[in-house]
Amino acid sequence: MHSSSRTSPIRICCIGAGYVGGPTMAMIAKQCPDIPVAVVDLNQARIDQWNSDELPVYEPGLQEVVAEARGRNLTFSTDVEGAIRSSNIIFISVNTPTKMHGIGAGRAANLEFVEKCARKIAECSQGHKIVVEKSTLPVRTAEAVKRILSSASSGATFDVLSNPEFLAEGTAVSDLLAPDRVLIGGESSQAIEQLASVYERWIPREKILTTNLWSSELSKLTANAFLAQRVSSINAISALCEVTGANVDEVARAIGTDSRIGPKFLKASVGFGGSCFQKDILNLVYLCEHFGLSEVAKYWEQVVVMNDYQKKRFSTRMVRTMFHTVSDKQIAVWGFAFKKDTNDTRESAAIYVCRDLLEEGARLMVYDPRVSEKQIRQDLMNVFKASSGEVSERHRQLIEKNVTVVKDAYTASNLSHAIVVLTEWDEFKKLDMQRVYDQMHRPAFVFDGRNVLDAHTMDKIGFEVHGIGRS
């Protein structure tokens, strides 16, 4: 029992102003005008962007949500210590990337940032605080967080809750407004109730699920593993469609009408991207290996193996189709983000397809409506980094000379030998494809990695169209 936290008004802080921390806290602040919400981050540039009209995260509807609450009860700053001191509910929403070095490298989650937050909270806290894991974490991380917090010399006391986030980028605002569920795991029913009371302001109580800490932590990894598994499953079938004459979109529609399977997340693609699917599955694989469950580990790892196969299969098919060479050929790259309606490129399939095409000597004309040229060049530089962290002179030259970033899809396709669609932006469906065709070399190849273009119309115009999962 911590009577102080029960009676004092709620004051929230969130450490980490990223794709999750920013939008999630903006929604809480919008829905709860009486609750002060302080979002803090060590990254000054990011905080400056949150305080400007150019938010660091592009999400439909986010600008309006932030505009409503910012300056009223929503603040963005770098004052981590001050925010911890003045809050009684502290969310940890920092990044948990895959470890790149040491034990578990390439699989385990790097918990450095989470641990630093826990230490900072222990150092700055007085009285009682509820610490909420919002970041996606390996099961049993809360145990480590609790131990670190218990070292607080001030005598402060803590409850630790797990409250994983299920929003998807591109639909973050609607996901936060009407989530399928909110999950809260913890030991103290009083702390759970206090956090639930925040969400209850706009989410029906029956959608707020409560579990023990470990179930909550594991449910988040499991949800992402199941979602990614569906994409890898339909992508595996797409390979079979291409050699048999079946059409993967027709197969998806046919199986998706089975209410036990359901229609969502069955869109075959060039491969899933995003900062989380691969990272979270690898984390799950690492946990299984750690607990000696090697068959379970291998089972889940295959989801990532299949995704890598799909990306490679796609770029190989492009080269083979274009008479076994793309050297010195101009290719229009339509889309670079990992999905539509986001400016996020982390683990985007586009990075890997562009890498393969550059290695083959292609000249790329890249267009994405939301991703900056700086980001595109940075991502390509990173993908060519050797294990030493160095980028060879040859690769530097390739990026400098063979990559042009342009401002629209028509410019990208002008004088190109092929178009490759790597993100399913809606605007690609509305283009004047006759105009595009007229500007291109013949044969005018189109490799639709998202099956968004109307293949029938394109065929009639004269394009040679290669979609995913169609022969």
Q: Which residues are catalytic?
A: 276
Is residue 25 within 8 A of residue 16, CB to CB? The reply is no
Judge residue 411's burial from the number of C-beta atoms within 10 Å of its C-beta, 0-12 exposed, 13-18 middle, 19 or more buried. middle
For residues 422 and 453, give the distance between their C-alpha atoms in angstroms, rounded to a whole number. Answer: 12
Considering CB distances under 5 to 8 angstroms, the limit depending on partner class, which of ligand NAD, ligand UGA, none binds residue 117? ligand NAD
For residues 369 and 233, give the distance between their C-alpha atoms in angstroms, rounded to a whole number. Answer: 29
Which x/- pattern, by CB under 6 A, does the window 128-167 give for ligand NAD? -------xx----------------------------x-x
For residues 285 and 60, give the distance between their C-alpha atoms in angstroms, rounded to a whole number. Answer: 34
Which x/- pattern, by CB under 6 A, does the window 382-411 give for ligand NAD? ------------------------------
Does 225 help bind ligand NAD (rule: CB under 6 A)? no
**Of 117-136, which residues contact ligand UGA (CB under 6 A)?**
136
Q: CB nearer to ligand NAD: give 52 or 294.
A: 52
Does 16 help bind ligand NAD (rule: CB under 6 A)? yes
Does 278 help bind ligand UGA (rule: CB under 6 A)? no
> What tokens were used for 123?
């150092």
Give Cα separations from 232 to 218, 236, 301, 367, 446 (angstroms). Answer: 21, 6, 11, 26, 23
Is residue 117 within 8 A of residue 158, CB to CB? The reply is no
CB of 378 to ligand NAD, least distance (A): 14
Q: CB nearer to ligand NAD: give 178 or 254.
A: 178
Q: Which residues pair with 184 in a beta bridge?
A: 210
Does 470 help bind ligand UGA (rule: CB under 6 A)? no
Does 227 help bind ligand UGA (rule: CB under 6 A)? yes
Q: CB nearer to ligand NAD: give 165 or 360.
A: 165
Closest CA to 5 of 159, 152, 129, 163: 129
**Of 161-190, which residues contact ligand NAD (CB under 6 A)?**
165, 167, 169
For ligand NAD, the nearest residue by Cβ is 18
Considering CB distances under 5 to 8 angstroms, the limit depending on partner class, which of ligand NAD, ligand UGA, none binds residue 227? ligand UGA
Q: Among 61, 68, 82, 113, which residue interacts with ligand NAD (rule: CB under 6 A)?
A: 113
Is residue 302 within 8 A of residue 118, CB to CB? The reply is no
Closest CA to 8 of 86, 117, 121: 86
Give Cα separations from 88 to 69, 76, 253 (angstroms). Answer: 20, 17, 48
Which x/- pattern, by CB under 6 A, does the window 17-36 give for ligand NAD? xxxxx---------------
Q: Among 15, 26, 167, 218, which residue interacts with ligand UGA (rule: CB under 6 A)?
A: 167
- What are residue 448's phi and psi, to 5 degrees? -95, 95
Q: CB nearer to ligand UGA: give 267 or 329.
A: 267
Exposure string of 299-318, with b = 16+ CB inside 10 Å and e = fewer, is: ebbbbbebbebbbebbbeeb
For residues 220 and 197, give the distance between their C-alpha atoms in angstroms, rounded to a whole number. Answer: 21
Which segments of 50-167 are extended strands (E)?
Answer: 74-77, 89-92, 128-133, 157-162
Considering CB distances under 5 to 8 angstroms, the limit depending on partner class, which of ligand NAD, ligand UGA, none binds residue 313? none
Residue in this structure with the two tokens 């699989």, named with its chain if needed: 107
Size of the site for ligand UGA (CB under 6 A): 20
CB of 159 to ligand NAD, least distance (A): 20
Candidates 3-11, 93-101, 198-206, 252-260; binding stretch for ligand NAD (CB under 6 A): 93-101
Which x/- pattern, by CB under 6 A, does the window 320-359 give for ligand UGA? ------------------xx--------------------
For residues 158 and 180, give the distance between their C-alpha atoms in angstroms, rounded to a whole number. Answer: 29
Q: Among 35, 42, 144, 168, which residue interacts with ligand UGA (rule: CB under 6 A)?
A: 168
Q: Among 29, 74, 80, 319, which residue interacts with ligand NAD (rule: CB under 6 A)?
A: 80
What number of other Cβ atoms are within 10 A of residue 456's Cβ?
Answer: 8
Three-state secondary-structure class, residue 166 = coil
Does 237 help bind ligand UGA (rule: CB under 6 A)? no
- Work out the angle at residue 65's Cα, subtended by the Cα atoms of residues 36 and 91, and round it to the nearest 5 degrees: 45
Three-state secondary-structure class, residue 403 = strand
Which chain residues interact with ligand NAD by CB under 6 A? 15-21, 41-43, 46, 80, 93-96, 113, 116-117, 135-136, 165, 167, 169, 275-276
Which chain residues interact with ligand UGA by CB under 6 A? 136, 165-169, 224, 227, 231, 265-267, 269, 272-274, 276-277, 338-339
